[in-house]
Amino acid sequence: MARQPSTKQLSDWDRKYLWHPFTQMQEWEQEKPLIIERGKGPYLIDTEGKRYLDGTSSIWVNLHGHRHPTLDRAIKRQLEKIAHSTLFGLSNPPAIQLARALIRIAPKGLTRLFYSDNGSTAVEVALKMAFQYWQQRRPEAGPKNTFLHLKLAYHGDTIGAVSVGNIELFHSRFKSLLFPTIEADPPYCYRCPLRLTYPSCRMACLDPIEQLFKERHRELAGFIIEPLVQAAAGMLTSPPGYLKRIRELCTKYDVLLIADEVATGFGRTGKMFACQHEGITPDLMAISKGLTGGYMPLAATLTTDEIYQAFLGKYEDFKTFFHGHSYTGNPLACAVALANLEVFKEDKTLSRLQPKIKTMTRLLQPLWQLPHVGDIRQCGFMAAIELVEDKQTRKPYPLEARMGHRVTTEARRHGLLLRPLGHIMALIPPLSTDASTLARMVVILHRAIATATASP
């Protein structure tokens, strides 16, 4: 048996061979990387045995804690049969069973499912489906080939997903590669573009969106939105009724509603899917992240029978959806995703989550007293603390201050791993996190913010 490399060897190899996502590698190469070797429950354990609380659910994917026995067993059972076979011209039991299970818990009216690998590809599939649907539903009526999205949106990193995104820091470099879209202001109540205050504003931010529908609905193929929470934008939470009104506008003007539930799905907002809070059904819905409980890469795009029917025809009609991935419907990933849904039932995850959501709200209240906390936003078990240089004027920290990074570094010293969104601190624990562990996370976060913002 080969000798395991030391932490130093791994660190050296990491800096020599790896290229990390969203990371300035010149800086990374000067630091000692934190190398996670194991996990248990809400904890991540590095190669030197130090334990850290997983404050981001390993970038929003882990739901039931690391090394959950039901999920471990599902992987092992499936490995004894087969790890992968293609869905091109074949099928497999886990993919079939999972599709049925997901349709049964999805918003009513979503009846068909298309697999892919991650959130970006699930969104890409939705955009291409919407684009092709209009060509095949009414080819004589002229092109409906444009998409409407919110500013500050993040829907993934493939070209289509970036085209409907609007985070300048991430996306500006690639503008010449992107297709043109239409964008509208988001419901960012803390920094309202209309300079109004909720609820007296009566969601006036919807008025310009309706005007866009009136003027351009004939060219709009779809409106893509993260329901209830714009996650990477800084956990921007929409007011109650906003999503339902968007659904009504899409229906009125014959525009497909695409719900990006990659971040908000699988209990993060307190219900299985965020759309269910307002009782709406999108025309297409992208899911990933929590789909396998944080175990395997897997994604899916769900849609209605009406959209599915538009792709049916004789072979020579070429209405086929010409899209697919090598690992589409991977049996190993589908098997653990099925087990993930079983854990929701067995552990009563959603009902047990409700008091923890209230506990999180209570625990976050003292952070309002910190002099550089401008806003605290929460939806279900997703929370964000927006740090500002000046609380009175809401002046944000400049990017070069790297305040989020400084808070993250301080939190790590005390055993909490976080990933900031610029100067916004996101706290998204595994759904299984108990009240005492959650309290410890918030105490460390409070201390880290106080320490980092106190120094010049």
Which token pair is 362?
């209570």
Angle at 455 between CA 454 and CA 456, to 5 degrees: 120
Q: Which residue has the tokens 């995850």?
A: 349
State the number of CA atoms in the 13 A half-sphere of 87 facing the CB.
Answer: 22
Helix (H) or strand (E) holding 37: strand 36-40
**Pick from 421, 373, 396: which is nearest to 232 by CA?**
421
Helix (H) or strand (E) holding 307: helix 305-309
Residue that wins the pLDDT comparison between 139 and 141: 139
Q: Which residue has the tokens 């499936």?
A: 78
pLDDT band at 2 (very low <50, low <70, confident <90, very high): confident
3-state helix, strand, coil in the chain (%, to 5): 40, 20, 40
- Confidence at residue 1, expressed as pLDDT on a 0 to 100 scale: 63
- Confidence at residue 141, expressed as pLDDT on a 0 to 100 scale: 67
Sort strands 299-304 and 284-287 into parallel, antiparallel or unpaired: antiparallel
Whether the model clears a pTM of 0.85, i.e. scores above it, the answer is yes
Helix (H) or strand (E) holding 409: helix 403-413
Q: Answer positive or negative: Cα dihedral of 202, 206, 210, 211.
A: positive
Share of the chain above pLDDT 90, in %: 96
**Tens digits of per-residue pLDDT, 37-94?**
999 999 999 999 999 999 999 999 999 999 999 999 999 999 999 999 999 999 999 9
pLDDT band at 339 (very low <50, low <70, confident <90, very high): very high
Structural domains of the chain, with CATH:
34-64+348-454 (3.90.1150.10), 73-346 (3.40.640.10)
Q: State the Cα–Cα distance between residues 373 and 44, nearest whole angstrom.
A: 28
Q: Answer positive or negative: Cα dihedral of 230, 233, 238, 244.
A: negative
Residue that wins the pLDDT comparison between 263 and 170: 263
**Tens digits of per-residue pLDDT, 274-309?**
999 999 999 999 999 999 999 999 999 999 999 999
Helix (H) or strand (E) holding 40: strand 36-40
Longest dimension (CA), the chain: 69
pLDDT band at 140 (very low <50, low <70, confident <90, very high): confident
What's the alpha-carbon Rg for the chain, to the nearest Å? 22
pLDDT band at 215 (very low <50, low <70, confident <90, very high): very high
Residue 158's identity, in one-letter code, is T
Q: State the Cα–Cα distance between residues 186 and 193, nearest whole angstrom.
A: 8
- Of 127-131, 140-144, 384-388, give the lowest mean pLDDT range: 140-144
Asked whether the predicted pLDDT for residue 255 surpasses 90, the reply is yes
- Confidence at residue 169, expressed as pLDDT on a 0 to 100 scale: 87
Average pLDDT over residues 209-222: 97
**DSSP letter string, 75-90:** HHHHHTT-S---SSS-
Average pLDDT over residues 137-161: 91
Q: State the Cα–Cα distance between residues 449 and 442, nearest whole angstrom.
A: 10
**DSSP letter string, 308-352:** HHTT---GGG--S-----TTTT-HHHHHHHHHHHHHHHHTTHHHH
Asked whether the predicted pLDDT for residue 455 surpasses 90, the reply is no
**Residues 56, 417 contacting (CB under 8 angstroms):** yes
Asked whether the predicted pLDDT for residue 237 surpasses 70, the reply is yes
